[in-house]
Amino acid sequence: MFSEGDLLVYGNIGICRVDKVAERDFAKADEGKLFYFLKPLFQDCDISTPVDNSKVFMRKVISEKEANKLIGMISEIKPEPCYSKVMKELTNHYESYLETHDCLDMLILLKSLYAKKEYLESLNRKFGEIDKSFMIKARELLDGEFSVALGIPKDSVQGYIEKKIA
């Protein structure tokens, strides 16, 4: 169970702070049921979800040590680009990486997408919209978590990574 003030990964929303753990005042059907009241750090909304919610993935944010270890592994990651022309296959492939909510899987996905983008550009071909949207989503989720874990602004994460792997 998470406590007030904890930072957690909440599904594909990203990093949220637990504002409070309490019952909801307005729902008679939920009487006696505890909820997390969450505030996303990088989006402007509020979320309430049952403490025992098994439908949405939740876990603690990785530590600074774990983030630096993952960053140190980036150069060793072998890209695995997916070149399917079937949009559903491509979407399912990318979603399978995001659904794990694992930072290493997101790094593999990103490295694969960047490799695909470079390859397509070398052939003077366009990088697909599906590829682009998953690249943005993975980058948002990963940068958000690294930002919190490393204690740096989200827009500084890319520079931090580039410095570390240079």
- The tens digit of pLDDT for each residue in 11-27 reads 999 999 999 999 887 66
Low-confidence ranges of the chain (pLDDT < 70): 26-30
Range of the domain at 40: 7-59
Residues 99 and 127 in one domain: yes
Residues 117 and 91 in one domain: yes
Asked, for residue 72, whether it belongs to a domain, the answer is: yes
Residues 53 and 115 in one domain: no
Coil vs helix vs strand at 31: coil
Residue 110 has a pLDDT of: 97
Last residue of a domain, one of 42, 59, 76: 59
> Does the model's pTM come out above 0.85?
yes
Residues 52 and 85 in one domain: no
Asked, for residue 1, whether it belongs to a domain, the answer is: no
Residue 29 has a pLDDT of: 62
Which phi-psi region, left, alpha or beta, contains residue 14 (left: φ > 0; alpha: ψ -120 to 50)? left
Residue 24 has a pLDDT of: 82
Total structural domains in the chain? Answer: 2
Residues 45 and 100 in one domain: no
Q: Output the 3-class SS for 45-66.
A: CCEEEECCCCCCCEEECCCHHH
Last residue of a domain, one of 44, 59, 74: 59
Asked, for residue 24, whether it belongs to a domain, the answer is: yes
Residue 18 has a pLDDT of: 97
Q: What is the phi/psi pair of residue 75, to 5°?
A: -65, -20
- Beta pairing partners, 16: 8, 40
Residue 23 has a pLDDT of: 87
Residue 27 has a pLDDT of: 62
Asked, for residue 71, whether it belongs to a domain, the answer is: yes
Residues 106 and 26 in one domain: no
Residues 53 and 105 in one domain: no
Coil vs helix vs strand at 24: coil
Q: Say if strands 58-60 and 7-10 run parallel, antiparallel, or are unpaired.
A: antiparallel
